[in-house]
Amino acid sequence: MTRAKVVVLGATGFVGRNVRDRLALDGHEVHGLSRTGGCDLLDLPAAWRQIEHLRPDYIVNCAAFVGSVNFVSDFAADVVDVNMRMLLNTYKIAQQMREAVLINPIANCGFPGGLDVYREGDLWDGPLDPSVKSYGATRRMIDVLADCYRRQYGVRSANLFVPNMYGPYDSHNPNKTHALNALVIKFVTAAKSGAEEVEIWGTGRPVREWLYVKDLARLVSRVVSEGGFNGEPVSVAQNHGLSVDEIAALIAERVGFKGRLRRNTSYGDGSPRKVMDDTLFRGRFPDFTFTPMDQGLEETVAYYRGTIA
């Protein structure tokens, strides 16, 4: 294993904290940066001053202005504006540090909304789902930036397409929390307070692929430890999905919630089904094992139980 120097952008966020912890556990020299920590990616000179002297081998880009489907719709213009400027500045920084590999976990809402199964080559093969148009478009732009900065400036990017994630360290703000964690928080809160009802946003029917965030963190650390990546995007894929209702039932059982589910269909569902093809992933990382859903949920419920009064 190669010990690397790694900068994690967005290190205070849900994904960034998990990635930072795993890299440190695996013995890498980790520098976690974020907006509130003084590295505002909207301010290129200031961000450059924070990163320049570190001369990292890798930059893991977990910085984003993002939240629930509602959030990216309500704040659509800001989501496009802030995320594009952050990405443009991140690539300007990478351009000055050609020795650093930029690792981008890319949310799969950048894929066409009409597809059932997402294959890496299909990213541009159709329109985005309207519910995530703002954020999804900025995720597609990572593909453009990675390609253009490689061609002109030799910047190396490792693009990982990633499904919905769950696990510790997510925000408790209902407009920011990610779908499965939001459900865990609702069920844990209901079980603690003895509430008889839990509200589910949407119909409960959409099928999603769910990835335990610590699996992504483990994979990012492996890419860093192995010191290489051939530059082709790959999906962190299991080719398996569960509906929101199925997930809700698993969580309810785990927390011992015996009440009713109330569906609030004033919230949209987004794409009916999102599952990721795992052919490339299996070829690239044949021995990688994903955390079983039971175990991931167990750990996630335990974490949020500990954070809710």
Ligand X SMILES: NC(=O)c1ccc[n+]([C@@H]2O[C@H](COP(=O)([O-])OP(=O)(O)OC[C@H]3O[C@@H](n4cnc5c(N)ncnc54)[C@H](OP(=O)(O)O)[C@@H]3O)[C@@H](O)[C@H]2O)c1
Q: Which range in 56-64, 145-153, 185-193, 221-229 contacts ligand X by CB under 6 A? A: 56-64
Asked if 105 interacts with ligand X (CB under 6 A), we say yes
Which of residues 58, 65, 75, 111 is near ligand X by CB under 6 A?
A: 65
For the CB of residue 307, give the shortest distance to ligand X in the complex, in Å: 15
Q: Which is nearer to ligand X, 11 or 251 (CB)?
A: 11
Number of residues that bind ligand X (CB under 6 A): 28
Which of residues 4, 6, 7, 15 is near ligand X by CB under 6 A?
A: 15
Q: Which range in 31-39, 52-60, 221-229, 286-294 contacts ligand X by CB under 6 A? A: 31-39
Asked if 115 interacts with ligand X (CB under 6 A), we say no
Asked if 86 interacts with ligand X (CB under 6 A), we say yes
Paired tokens of 255: 């927390």
What is the SS3 assignment for 119? coil
Instruction: Indicate the pairing of strand 164-166 with strand 242-243.
Output: unpaired
| Helix, strand, coil percent content, the chain, rounded in steps of 5 | 45, 20, 35
Beta-carbon contacts of 9 under 8 Å, excluding residues fewer than 6 positions away, are: 16, 33, 34, 39, 41, 59, 60, 61, 62, 63, 90
The residue at minimum Cβ distance from ligand X is: 13
Beta-carbon contacts of 283 under 8 Å, excluding residues fewer than 6 positions away, are: none
What is the SS3 assignment for 5? strand
Asked if 300 interacts with ligand X (CB under 6 A), we say no
Supply the DSSP symbol for 118. E
Asked if 63 interacts with ligand X (CB under 6 A), we say yes
Tell me the per-residue interface mask from 156 to 175 with ligand X, x by CB under 6 A, - otherwise: ------x-xx-----x----
Distance CA 20, CA 264 (A): 36
Footprint of ligand X (CB under 6 A):
10-16, 34-37, 39-42, 62-66, 86, 105, 107, 162, 164-165, 171, 178
